[in-house]
Amino acid sequence: MPALSRPVTYIFLLLCLGHLVEGRAEDQQVAQLRTQLEAAKAAEDKPAIIELSRRILAITPNDPQLWQMLAQTQLETEDLDRLEQTLDAWEKAVKRPAPSIEDFRGALAFKRKDYQNTEKHWLAFVGMKPRPSDAATGYDNLANLCAEQARWEDHAAYRTKAIAAKDSAARRVARACAYLRLHKWDAAYADMAKANKLDASDSDVKEWLPQFEQLQRFLPQIKTLDAQISKSPNNIELLLQRARLFTVAGRPLLALDDAERAFKLQPASMRARIQTAEALLDTNREDDAAKLEVGKNLERQEDKHVSDEALDILGKLDTRLQANPKDAEALVARSKELKELGQLTLALADARAALAIDDKSADAHFEAARDLDRLNQQTEALSHARIATQLDPKDPEKWFYVGVLERQRANLPAAIESQTRSIEISESFVALSEREQCERRIGKISEADADLRRIRDLPAKHQ
């Protein structure tokens, strides 16, 4: 190799020195950025973490941990478009793509509700043989994806793969819950027992074990209904009975499965509608319950459930109406029951349906009046209430209600007249009290005092 001349040697040395100085400057810049990054991490300043990570990677793109942190922070802040750019840049920057890139692509697709690509990327991630703990987490994610899509068989299968990758008490609990959705009771309880044995102090075990114990009290009845439903899968009465057991056992999702199925089979069933709405409310889905015209004010007992009596009445009235859809009396009775449950929109709809069949039904007009009044439509309510008294002038309750509506609109003479009609038919404490108040307000003091004395002398049975 020929010797270099002095000028050439001098230039070569200057170039090497320049590269060395430039390299040291870059090192210093990276060191400064990393110091700032550590401070940003300590402060949990996610925008700063993202910006500083990007700057460092622009200089030194071969740091897998930094790529991981950048992608994770963008995912946590739901900066999804930039996360996609980061994953593309990460893949180009390394010779052998890290498995976590597929994991992040799956998470990105899940955030975008692109479930087909979510599953594709997460399956690719576990197929790249990550560490057992990471593979188990990957299968956990796939199971959650299936739960989102109500794919319960696949959900349980992925839970099984997660356990095979790395067993834990929490994963046993998760598969036990998956088996509940499939009504695989024995398998579910075997997993829960195993979870409790693995780690009784695990938070999931502590949360779920009491719930499994509560459900266990109802299992004999549930298993009996399981056998009956397997023979008659479209029997809505059996489905609603089992839904009711799930509700009182504290398993609203299982109740919802059965109630929704019954409601789809018989959309006219008010019991199915109410039970479906109750399960939706129990799972904090008020908007979906509202789509069924059932409000969150659904009347419950002290145990926080709709009463068995109310459901039984609705079921019997549904049966009558299924046999004869023009049974106006059944519609009126169902309207009354729905009003007692606080569901005025549905109650009014039944009252109006009864009137469409028989506009001479005093009870239908009366129920419509009471529903409209509670819906703050007093003018229309009074109109129906007056018609009810014309059609059934011997009912003291109807006259009393007209009097109340008249008093609400400050027509006190008319209110007094209606209460007088009610009292003449059947003397009652409430009618006397209403009339006494109206009389006192318009200066009929002697009449009001007379009513007050009568109220005090009224036998207890009339009060």
- Once rounded to an integer, what is the mean pLDDT over residues 61-73? 90
Task: Please report the pLDDT score of residue 458 as a whole number.
Answer: 82
- Once rounded to an integer, what is the mean pLDDT over residues 333-352? 97
87 burial class (0-12, 13-18, 19+ CB within 10 angstroms)? buried
- Once rounded to an integer, what is the mean pLDDT over residues 174-179? 97
Q: Over the range 421-450, which residues count as b (16 or more CB within 10 Å of their CB) and which as e? A: bbbebeebebbbbbbbbbbbeeebeebbee
Output the six-digit token pair for 460: 């207890």
Task: Please report the pLDDT score of residue 26 as a whole number.
Answer: 66
Segment 115-169, tens digit of pLDDT: 999 999 999 999 999 999 999 999 999 999 999 999 999 999 999 999 999 999 9
Instruction: Select from 127, 130, 159, 132 the least CA-distant residue to 143.
Output: 159
Would the pLDDT of 21 be above 90? no
* 357 Cβ contact partners less than 8 Å away, ≥ 6 residues apart: 326, 328, 331
- Which range among 25-29, 249-253, 286-290, 456-460 shows the weakest confidence by mean pLDDT? 25-29
Q: Which percentage of the chain shows pLDDT scores above 90?
A: 82
Question: In terms of pLDDT, which residue wins out, 24 or 1?
Answer: 24
Task: Please report the pLDDT score of residue 94 as a whole number.
Answer: 83
- Once rounded to an integer, what is the mean pLDDT over residues 245-270? 97
Task: Please report the pLDDT score of residue 189 as a whole number.
Answer: 98
Separation CA 337–CA 344 (nearest Å)? 10
Would the pLDDT of 20 be above 50? no
Three-state SS string over the chain comes to CCCCCHHHHHHHHHHHHHHHHHHHHHHHHHHHHHHHHHHHHHCCCHHHHHHHHHHHHHHCCCCHHHHHHHHHHHHHCCCHHHHHHHHHHHHHHCCCCCHHHHHHHHHHHHHCCCHHHHHHHHHHHHHCCCCHHHHHHHHHHHHHHHHHCCCHHHHHHHHHHHHHHCCCHHHHHHHHHHHHHCCCHHHHHHHHHHHHHHCCCCHHHHHHHHHHHHHHCCHHHHHHHHHHHHHCCCCHHHHHHHHHHHHHCCCHHHHHHHHHHHHHHCCCCHHHHHHHHHHHHHCCCHHHHHHCCCCCCCCCCCCCCCCHHHHHHHHHHHHHHHHCCCCHHHHHHHHHHHHHCCCHHHHHHHHHHHHHHCCCCHHHHHHHHHHHHHCCCHHHHHHHHHHHHHHCCCCHHHHHHHHHHHHHCCCHHHHHHHHHHHHHHCCCHHHHHHHHHHHHHCCCHHHHHHHHHHHHHCCHHHC
Global pTM value: 0.82
Task: Please report the pLDDT score of residue 64 as a whole number.
Answer: 86
Mean pLDDT score of the chain: 92
Would the pLDDT of 269 be above 80? yes
- Which range among 93-107, 287-301, 318-332, 416-430 shows the weakest confidence by mean pLDDT? 93-107
Task: Please report the pLDDT score of residue 32 as a whole number.
Answer: 87
- With cut-offs at 50, 70 and 90, classify the pLDDT of residue 62: confident
Task: Please report the pLDDT score of residue 24 as a whole number.
Answer: 64
Segment 306-329, tens digit of pLDDT: 999 999 999 999 999 999 999 999
- With cut-offs at 50, 70 and 90, classify the pLDDT of residue 353: very high
Task: Please report the pLDDT score of residue 276 as a whole number.
Answer: 98
Would the pLDDT of 178 be above 50? yes
Looking up tokens 């991630």 gives 125
- With cut-offs at 50, 70 and 90, classify the pLDDT of residue 7: low
Task: Please report the pLDDT score of residue 100 as a whole number.
Answer: 92
Task: Please report the pLDDT score of residue 105 as a whole number.
Answer: 95
- Contact between 417 and 386 under an 8 Å Cβ cutoff? The reply is no
Segment 198-234, tens digit of pLDDT: 999 999 999 999 999 999 999 999 999 999 999 999 9
Q: Residue 206: how many CB atoms within 10 A of its CB?
A: 13
Segment 86-122, tens digit of pLDDT: 999 999 988 888 899 999 999 999 999 999 999 999 9
Task: Please report the pLDDT score of residue 148 as a whole number.
Answer: 94
Would the pLDDT of 13 be above 70? no
Instruction: Select from 187, 207, 185 the least CA-distant residue to 196.
Output: 207
- Contact between 158 and 190 under an 8 Å Cβ cutoff? The reply is no
Task: Please report the pLDDT score of residue 61 as a whole number.
Answer: 87
Q: From residue 271, how far is each of 82, 140, 238, 259 by CA, in Å?
A: 50, 37, 12, 9
Q: Which percentage of the chain shows pLDDT scores above 70?
A: 94
Task: Please report the pLDDT score of residue 8 as a whole number.
Answer: 46
